[in-house]
Amino acid sequence: MTILLAEDDPLTLEALATCLQAEGFETLSAADGRQALDLWTRHKPDLLCLDIMMPEVDGFEVCRRVRSNDTTVPILFLSAKNEEADIVVGLGLGADDFIRKPFTRAEVIARVRAALRRAHPASPQERTFRMGDLTVHPKALFAERGGDSIDLTPREVSMLELLHRNEGDPVSRDAFLNACWGLDYFPDSRTLDQHILVLRKKIEVEPAHPAIIETVRSVGYRYRLATS
């Protein structure tokens, strides 16, 4: 999924992009409202995160123009302004939420996930897949087991999709990195293992004894075939 970030402070813009990219999102960056509108028109991102006070065109006007063409794409305002009037105006223009500066990484990710979840609720027509007793909803970025919901990042969904497509066969480390990080990305040697560790803690009933993601020594990982 792609997120458009519009913020005139370069440090804040870089921090936001780094935070979201680490979760597996693709990002588009704009330093002013005019650039944001151009990027939105050309790329149609899945979510917009807009600063209010920007040169050329402010965040409110960007939101107004986007909403005149698209009533469903999630829009979050990023602002140091805490006045109730600004929140009322933003919500009145069709924004979904506000992120107040200074923000934490956890808050940004939580609000982005919540907005995407509302925009893409699970439905009977959604393409899902099962891994044992786990049902994965790729578009809505979550899995469920026994009525419990488990939030997933885009990269975690990609990892599970790759394992599911290759059910029963080992997936090499290089295949994981190419499919889920990209050919031009060169992570350190422990990146994949660390992500698998986190993912197991989320989806495995007993992470120390995984029933879904099996380690294949000297190769990579495998989605274990269901056993009767």
Instruction: Please check whether the two domains, 2-119 and 129-223, share a CATH topology.
Output: no
If pLDDT is split at 50, 70 and 90, which confidence band does 82 have?
Answer: low
- List the structure tokens of 144: 């469920």
Amino acid at the residue 34: R
pLDDT at residue 126, as a whole number: 64
- The stretch 204-213 carries a mean pLDDT of 92
pLDDT at residue 228, as a whole number: 41
- List the structure tokens of 35: 């650039």
Q: CA–CA separation, 190 vs 74, rounded Å?
A: 34
- pLDDT tens readout for residues 4-25: 999 999 999 999 999 999 888 9
Domain 129-223 classification at class level: mainly alpha
- The stretch 33-48 carries a mean pLDDT of 95
Find the helix or strand (DSSP H, E) in which 182 lies.
none
Q: CA–CA separation, 53 vs 84, rounded Å?
A: 16
Percentage of the residues of the chain whose pLDDT score is greater than 90: 50
User: 2-119 adopts what CATH topology?
Assistant: Rossmann fold (3.40.50)
pLDDT at residue 226, as a whole number: 59
All structural domains of the chain with their residue ranges: 2-119, 129-223
pLDDT at residue 121, as a whole number: 65
- The stretch 29-51 carries a mean pLDDT of 95
Could you write out the DSSP letters of every residue in 79-118? ES---HHHHHHHHHTT--EEEESS--HHHHHHHHHHHHHH
| Close Cβ partners of 99 (under 8 Å, ≥ 6 residues apart) | 49, 76, 77, 78, 79, 107, 108, 111
